[in-house]
Structure 1
Amino acid sequence: MPSPDNAEHLAERIARLEAIEDIKALKHRYLRACDAKDPKEFRACFIASGASIDYGRLGTFADADGIAQVFERIALQKVDGRNVILDMHHATHPDIAIHGETSASGRWTLKFRQVNLLEGTETVATGEYEDEYVVEDGRWKMSKCHFTRYWSITRPIGADCRVDQADGDA
């Protein structure tokens, strides 16, 4: 039978692993919200007020409402009822540190692809997210999300390129 000290240590390790998995799920919800063009879920991934957001060229914000407005303005653009900005976000290599029951930090590598039908371009990029997380209303939320772009390639998509979009029936 394990001693009480071992049981407490095991409980702490399990809590830490659960927190890491919850934070991974948070980041994945955020990325899916970006690609699914879901501004409500996008905003819900951040604390209610006071988040530190730095997305480089997209801007720096002292609250997530600002980046949520930029997200809506860019991602939700439509022409003839079709989306004109098509994004694909994949975050890999999570490095998450738990600092306490309600605070953590993390780094992620982003693989990003965007088709811009307004400009007729495709962009491939990579960079690094540096995040901080806190528990708010019983759930992990981002309190800081800073993105540093490492490099990108933008190339034209020609008239012979066909871009198909789901029409909501799939």
Structure 2
Amino acid sequence: MDMEQRLAALEAIEEIKALKHRYWRACDGKDPQGFRDCFIQRGAVIDYGPMGAFDDVEPMAEIFTQVALAKVDGKHVIFDMHHGMHPDITLLSPTTARGRWTLRFRQVNLREGTEYLKTGEYDDEYVLVDGQWKMSACRFTDTWSMTRALDESAQITEGEFMAVPAP
């Protein structure tokens, strides 16, 4: 590979990393449109194990909307925190790539009175669409999880959720 090709490959990998980070920000920021925008427009393969498997982003975006935006007495009841790490991105061509990530996930569920911790692995496929990287497949496999009751003294302070604009 010459210098120009190497630079283009590094730029593509960084753009894919930024895409995955936008995806997690959309999840945590309660932003269904931002979530949708991370995937190809039609035909994305999404398999989140126990949460379900889908052949398009829309069914998963609907579940995301119902869960993430759920409110009781005008206040959100689900708070998520996604921390992705250990990116392993392989460019297959100038317009396709594959990636693997480790997820550390934490959720506070005020409706159930629980805290849920989980870790697992994402296996993703990416395609370049109109100059932007998008996920064409996103598969998640649980490694382990733990659910515990929130202590009675736990106090949750809700901040403002703001959608993160796409670049």
Q: TM bucket by the smaller chain?
A: over 0.9
Which of 15, 24, 35 lines up with 1:22 in the alignment?
Answer: 15
Q: Distance in 2 between matches of 1:113 and 1:81?
A: 22
Asked if the contact 1:109/1:126 (under 8 Å) is kept, the reply is: yes
Is the partner of 2:143 in helix, strand or coil? strand
The question of 1:79 aligning with 2:72 is answered: yes
Structure 2: gaps of 5 or more residues = 162-167
TM-score, length of structure 1 as denominator length? 0.92
CA distance in 2, matches of 1:100, 1:45: 20
Whether contact under 8 Å (1:52, 1:61) holds in the other structure is yes
**Residue 69 of structure 1: aligned partner:** 62
Q: Assess, with a 3 A threshold, how the Cα gap between structure 1 residues 26 and 167 changes in structure 2: closer, same or farther.
A: closer
Which of residues 116, 122, 134 in structure 2 aligns to 1:123? Answer: 116
Is 1:95 matched with 2:88? yes
Matched, 1:143 2:136: yes
Shift of 1:156: 0.1
In 2, Cα distance between the equivalents of 1:166 and 1:51?
32
Following the alignment from structure 2 to structure 1, what is the Cα–Cα distance between the partners of residues 154 and 31?
A: 27
- Large movers: runs of 4+ above 3 Å: none
Letter in 2 for 1:13: R
Separation in 2, partners of 1:37, 1:125? 19
What CA distance in whole angstroms lies between the structure 1 residues aligned with 2:149 and 2:57? 32
Instruction: Point out where structure 1 has 5 or more consecutive residues left out of the alignment.
Output: 1-7
SS of equivalent residue, structure 2 residue 2: helix
1:106 match: 99
User: Aligned with 2:152: secondary structure?
Assistant: coil
What SS does the aligned partner of 2:146 have?
strand
SS in structure 2 of the partner of residue 89 of structure 1:
strand
The residue number in structure 1 matching 2:36 is 43
State the Cα distance separating 1:167 from its structure 2 match: 4.6
> Aligned to 1:154, which of 131, 141, 147?
147
Q: Which has the higher contact order (CA 8 A, sep 6+)?
A: 2
- Is the contact between residue 89 and residue 113 of structure 1 (CA under 8 Å) also seen in structure 2? yes
The match for 2:127 is: 134
Letter in 1 for 2:99: G
User: Contact between 1:58 and 1:70, CA under 8 Å: does it hold in 2?
Assistant: no
Q: CA deviation at 1:158?
A: 2.1
Instruction: Classify the secondary structure of the residue corresponding to 1:132.
Output: strand
